[in-house]
Amino acid sequence: MNMSNEFANRKPDPLLIVISGPSGVGKDTVVQRMKERDFPFHFVVTATTREKRGSETNGKDYWFVSKDEFARMIEANELIEYAIVYGDYKGIPKWEVREALETGQDVVMRLDVQGAETVRKLAPQALLIFLTCENEDELERRLRQRKTESNDSLSLRIATARKELQRIEAFDYVIVNRDFHLDDTVNKVRAIIDAEHLRVQHRKVSL
């Protein structure tokens, strides 16, 4: 088999894809649209100790667990990463990611900036995509518009988001998620993933 045939017939290694960025940039919305468009990825569900909101579904949006159960998962080393986010714990179950990668599926995770950087330390070949707004004023407007926080919590979230915007150099790609251009953002995410599968040297993820 010559070299061109070898590359034409090879199967891409599965990617570990992290969609990240500050609160308010639309991480959840982007991942939800990817699901709606039936992208062939395994979407990891994050475990959290925070209370379920409105229409959220356990096992679909998050795994909602008690603090005692989360502590057990930490002690048993069952999480890829975990962090305290605004007073609540969030973490990624290892078994879910490993099983998906073993089947050859690309795995997509939505994480805050701190979580994304933790994954990069554990899996240096992970693909990190940073979502952002057009500017800091737009980010603050989106956070205020959500009206899901007390004034104190909102101030903390805005200050944290501004700091997180400075961590962009730790990521592989950046996408500006503009208002009313959701599908354009999703198309760019898909284009990045498609391009990664065409690399001569594939990312080989191990956990």
3-state secondary structure of 175: strand
Cα angle vertex 132, ends 52, 117, to 5°?
Answer: 75
196: tokens are: 């990664």
Grouping H, G, I as helix, E, B as strand and the rest as coil, residue 207 is coil
The reply to whether 53 belongs to the active site is: yes
Exactly one of 37, 53, 144, 199 is catalytic; which is it? 53
Beta strand segments in the chain, E: 16-20, 41-43, 46-48, 62-64, 79-85, 88-93, 106-110, 127-132, 173-176
Structure-derived torsion over alpha carbons of residues 35, 40, 46, 51, reported in degrees to the nearest 10 = 20
> Which one of the listed residues 37, 141, 144, 146 is annotated catalytic?
146
Question: How far is 100 from 188, CA to CA, in rounded Å?
Answer: 23
Q: Is 98 a catalytic residue?
A: no
- Active-site hit among 110, 120, 142, 157: 157
- Which positions ≥6 away from 99 have C-beta within 8 Å? none
Location of structure tokens 């990312």: 203
| Tokens 């009206």 -> residue | 147
Helices 182-197, 27-36: inter-axial angle, 10-degree rounding: 70
Q: Is 142 a catalytic residue?
A: no
Query: Which residues are designated catalytic?
Result: 53, 146, 157
